[in-house]
């Protein structure tokens, strides 16, 4: 059995501490150690994007990040997207545009889209399609997802 390490990180705006084994991924730490199951596992090898979170302003597949690498980082997960005042505009747009069917890929798409619009608030369709190519959705054919992001983008 591997020993455990204490990790301090900023998660959705709050400084927290957790214990993890060196072999545990950030995805595993979020879901199994911290009980935050909003981040989803689709492949566990960095190819589907379902576990996308934002780390220090960059989108990452949390299955490819070790829990110990979260030390000193600033991480946003799906649980941190809405505020007490209401849903994030992207969340609202996904609902209104029927941009989800089964919903398993949705947290990852929302974080990836947020990561894009935070940096490029006027991303156009081509840019959105390029950026979201790391996130797989098998239900929608992407049409309504791209439209939902486009509606929030200033480029619409």
Partner 1 sequence: MTSNQVLSEVEYNVVGTRPVRPDGVDKVTGRARYGDDTNLTGTLQAKVLRSPHPHARVKSIDTSKAEAFPGVRAVITAKDLPFASLSKEELGGDYTALKFATDHMMASDKVLFKGHPIAAIAAVNGHVAQSAMDLIEVEYEVLESVVDVREAMKPGAALLHEDLRTNDMGETADTPSNISTHMSYATGDLEKGFAEADLVMEKEYTTATVHQGYIEPHNTTAFWNSDGQLNLWTSTQGSFQVRATVSNILRLPVSQIKVTPMEIGGGFGGKITAYLDAICAVLSKKTGSPVKAIMTRTEVFEASGPAPASWMRVKIGVKNNGKITAVETEMAMDAGAYPGSPVMQAIVCAFACYDVENGKVDGYDVVVNKPKSAAYRAPGAPQAAFAVESLIDEICGELKIDPIDFRLLNAAKEGTRRIEGLVAKRIGLVECLEAARDHDHYKSKLENGTGRGVACGYWPNRGFQSSVVMTVNYDGVVSLIMGSVDIGGTRASIAQQTAETLGIAYEDVKPTVVDTDSIGYTFITGGSRTAFATGIAAISAAEDVKEQMISRAAKIWDTSEDDIEFVAGMISHKSDEELRLSFKDLARQTATTGGSITGRSSVDPSGEGNGHAVHIADVSVDQETGKTDVTRFTAIQDAGKAVHPSYVEGQMQGGAVQGIGWALNEEYFFDDTGKMLNSSFLDYRMPTSLDLPMIDTVIVEVANPGHPYGVRGVGEAAICPPMAAVANAVTSATGNRMRSLPITPGKILEAGWDSVKS
Q: Is 89 in the site for partner 1 (CB under 8 A)?
A: no
Q: Is 103 in the site for partner 1 (CB under 8 A)?
A: yes
Q: Is 81 in the site for partner 1 (CB under 8 A)?
A: yes
Instruction: Name residues contacting partner 1, limited to 35-54 (CB under 8 A).
Output: 35-45, 47-48, 50
What would you measure as the largest C-alpha separation in the chain, in angstroms?
Answer: 53
- Assess contact for 22 and 41: CB atoms under 8 A: no
Binds partner 1 (CB under 8 A): choice among 98, 119, 124, 154: 98
Q: Is 129 in the site for partner 1 (CB under 8 A)?
A: yes
Q: Is 13 in the site for partner 1 (CB under 8 A)?
A: no
| Tokens at 102, concatenated | 């089964």
Cα–Cα dist 127/70, whole Å: 29
Q: Is 77 in the site for partner 1 (CB under 8 A)?
A: yes
Q: Is 123 in the site for partner 1 (CB under 8 A)?
A: no
Residue 52 to residues 13, 17, 110, 114, Cα–Cα distance (Å) = 17, 21, 9, 11
- Assess contact for 150 and 117: CB atoms under 8 A: no
Residues near partner 1 (CB under 8 A), total = 58
Q: Is 59 in the site for partner 1 (CB under 8 A)?
A: no
Residue 149 to residues 39, 68, 119, 140, Cα–Cα distance (Å) = 20, 32, 14, 14
Binds partner 1 (CB under 8 A): choice among 20, 26, 128, 152: 128
Question: Binding residues for partner 1, per CB under 8 A?
Answer: 1, 21, 23, 31, 35-45, 47-48, 50, 77-79, 81-82, 87, 91, 94-98, 100-107, 110, 128-130, 132-147
């Amino acid at each position: 059995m591997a020993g455990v390490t204490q990790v301090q990180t900023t998660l959705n705006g709050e400084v927290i501490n957790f214990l993890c084994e060196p072999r545990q991924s950030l995805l595993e730490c979020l879901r199994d150690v911290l009980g935050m199951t909003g981040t989803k596992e689709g492949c566990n090898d960095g190819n589907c994007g379902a576990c996308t979170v934002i780390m220090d302003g960059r989108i990452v597949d949390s299955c490819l990040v070790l829990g110990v690498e979260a030390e000193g980082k600033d991480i946003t997960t799906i649980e941190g997207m809405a505020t007490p005042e209401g849903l994030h505009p992207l969340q609202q747009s996904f609902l209104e545009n029927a941009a989800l069917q089964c919903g398993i890929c949705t947290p990852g798409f929302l974080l990836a889209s947020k990561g894009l619009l935070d940096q490029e608030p006027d991303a156009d369709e081509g840019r959105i399609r390029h950026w979201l190519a790391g996130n797989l959705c098998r239900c929608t054919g992407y049409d309504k997802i791209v439209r939902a992001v486009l509606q929030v983008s200033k480029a619409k």
